[in-house]
């Protein structure tokens, strides 16, 4: 029999999962081409050709030991290459000892949280948030403390964060570019949060979850958290920037300015092992070492973002264009985001209610979908808008 705890968690389910199931139902009835599915965050571009060729070449290697275990933190040469690349962006002096290769960003977040949390330690998360943070924090005995972002800008407010800090606060998770809001935190905001946390009389770590850091639009770059923050752990993956989510490859970087960094780096390798990951996938560590300058064609995502924004605006809704990531977070014309999502589903449009990210009154749409889906959805969006008298 499964545990009571897991049984309860499974019964509550996630909103993304619910929309996925609703999508399957609608696709069975109407045919997949007649359902406009914006609910899932699965990048639909293939990995860059150069990366695919590197995978094929390295997979064919007959060198002995290439499929063996290695240091729990990963191959030293791969970690050093990543440290060098981070140093270029941040001006810091990381080396291989600051990097632990992880099983995606999700693996990195779990390793980071396990490394620092004692029972009942609090971790601040900023709504709207990636819902898995709740599970990851609870996995390691921590308590999530939810702090809302500004209702209009969707950016975190340092005063509100500080009001939530207690003696038990061990960390805050930040995520920029943000899933679901699409906002990028400006450098001054990162610095302000950092300054305020450093003024406390105990250490509060910043865990920066940044799988979307390379997916930014309009020629912008997302500020380097390593450059602007101090007690910092960075979780990154190539799930989105190289379209490799199924290969589960990422890293955890401990800043060279971070409190207790030497112990933290060793703890990360230990936790990678004892969480049962043992080490990040060997083949993909080697692929990454040769692909550090590669990324998917961002202009294709930018084009889809622009197309979806246009479709939604034309229908009569208000929406801000996301600055980065793969999602558009749209204010619903009614406070009840669930009824709005249901109404969309009635017109075969699948979106995820904001309450699935701890933030009601919005819905999330993923624009990593084929352009034909966006174009074909225009009429259905206009239909939803007309039900609210918007056109
Ligand atoms: C904000 C955020 N963090 C972490 C993850 C997990 O990424 P990975 O697949 O690299 O584990 C995702 C995946 O969608 C995400 O959106």
Give 309-343 pLDDT, tens digit per residue. Answer: 999 999 999 999 999 999 999 999 999 999 999 99
Residue 327: asked if its preceding bond is cis (omega within 30°), the reply is: no
- CB of 211 within 6 A of ligand 1: the answer is yes
Does the pLDDT at position 93 exceed 90?
A: yes
End-to-end CA distance of the chain: 54
Q: Which atom of ligand 1 is nearest to the CA of 175?
A: 1
Owning domain of residue 105:
68-289
pLDDT computed for residue 314 by the predictor: 97
- CB of 231 within 6 A of ligand 1: the answer is no
- CB of 106 within 6 A of ligand 1: the answer is yes
Q: To test ligand 1's pocket by mutation, which of 179, 208, 214, 246 has the most ligand atoms within 8 angstroms of CB?
A: 179
Q: What is the pLDDT of residues 246-268, one digit of tens each?
A: 999 999 999 999 999 999 999 99
Written as six digits, the tokens of 54 are: 């590197």
In angstroms, what is the span from residue 386 Cα to ligand 1's centroid? 35
Does the pLDDT at position 114 exceed 90?
A: yes
Residue 60 within a domain:
no
In angstroms, what is the span from residue 279 Cα to ligand 1's centroid? 18
Helix or strand holding residue 144 (H, E): strand 143-148
**Residue 197: is it exposed, middle or buried by C-beta count within 10 angstroms (0-12/13-18/19+)?**
buried
Q: Which atom of ligand 1 is nearest to the CA of 179?
A: 1
- CB of 243 within 6 A of ligand 1: the answer is no
**Boundary residue ending a domain (256, 273, 289):** 289
Mean pLDDT of 116-141: 98
3-class state of residue 84 by DSSP: helix
**Residue 121: is it exposed, middle or buried by C-beta count within 10 angstroms (0-12/13-18/19+)?**
middle
* 14, 144: one domain: no
Written as six digits, the tokens of 382 are: 């206009």
In angstroms, what is the span from residue 106 Cα to ligand 1's centroid? 6
pTM: 0.96
**Boundary residue ending a domain (289, 321, 356):** 289
* 263, 326: one domain: no
Residue 59 within a domain:
no
In angstroms, what is the span from residue 380 Cα to ligand 1's centroid? 30
* 167, 277: one domain: yes
- CB of 250 within 6 A of ligand 1: the answer is yes
pLDDT computed for residue 12 by the predictor: 78
* 115, 207: one domain: yes
* 279, 355: one domain: no
* 315, 282: one domain: no
- Give the count of domains, the chain: 2
């Amino acid at each position: 029999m499964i545990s009571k705890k897991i049984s309860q968690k499974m019964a509550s389910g996630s909103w993304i999962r619910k929309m996925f199931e609703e999508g399957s139902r609608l696709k069975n009835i109407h045919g997949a081409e007649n359902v406009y599915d914006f609910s899932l965050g699965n990048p639909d571009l293939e990995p860059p050709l150069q990366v695919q060729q590197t995978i094929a070449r390295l997979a064919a290697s007959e060198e002995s030991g290439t499929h063996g275990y290695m240091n729990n933190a990963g191959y030293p040469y791969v970690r050093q290459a990543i440290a060098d690349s981070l140093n270029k962006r941040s001006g810091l002096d990381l080396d291989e000892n600051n990097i632990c290769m992880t099983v995606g960003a999700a693996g990195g977040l779990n390793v980071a949280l396990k490394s620092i949390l004692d029972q009942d330690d609090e971790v601040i998360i900023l709504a709207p948030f990636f819902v898995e943070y709740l599970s990851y924090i609870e996995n390691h005995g921590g308590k999530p403390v939810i702090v809302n972002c500004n209702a209009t800008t969707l950016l975190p407010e340092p005063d509100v964060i500080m009001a939530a800090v207690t003696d038990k606060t061990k960390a805050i998770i930040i995520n920029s570019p943000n899933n679901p809001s699409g906002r990028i935190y400006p450098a001054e905001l990162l610095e302000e949060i950092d300054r305020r946390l450093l003024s406390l009389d105990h250490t509060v770590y910043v865990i920066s979850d940044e799988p979307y850091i390379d997916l930014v639009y309009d020629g912008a770059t997302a500020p380097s958290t390593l450059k602007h923050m101090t007690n910092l752990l960075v979780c990154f993956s190539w799930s989105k920037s190289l379209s490799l989510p199924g290969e589960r490859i990422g890293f955890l970087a401990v800043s060279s300015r971070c409190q207790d960094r030497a112990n933290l780096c060793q703890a990360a390798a230990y936790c990678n092992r004892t969480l049962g990951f043992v080490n990040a996938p060997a083949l993909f560590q080697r692929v990454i070492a040769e692909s550090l300058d590669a990324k998917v064609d961002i202009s294709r995502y930018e084009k889809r973002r622009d197309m979806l924004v246009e479709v939604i605006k034309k229908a009569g809704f208000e929406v801000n264009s996301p600055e980065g990531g793969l999602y558009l977070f749209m204010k619903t014309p009614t406070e009840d985001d669930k009824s709005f999502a249901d109404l969309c589903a009635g017109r075969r449009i699948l979106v995820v209610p904001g309450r699935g990210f701890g933030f009601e009154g919005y819905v999330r749409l993923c624009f990593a979908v084929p352009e034909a889906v966006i174009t074909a959805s225009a009429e259905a969006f206009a239909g939803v808008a007309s039900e609210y008298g918007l056109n």
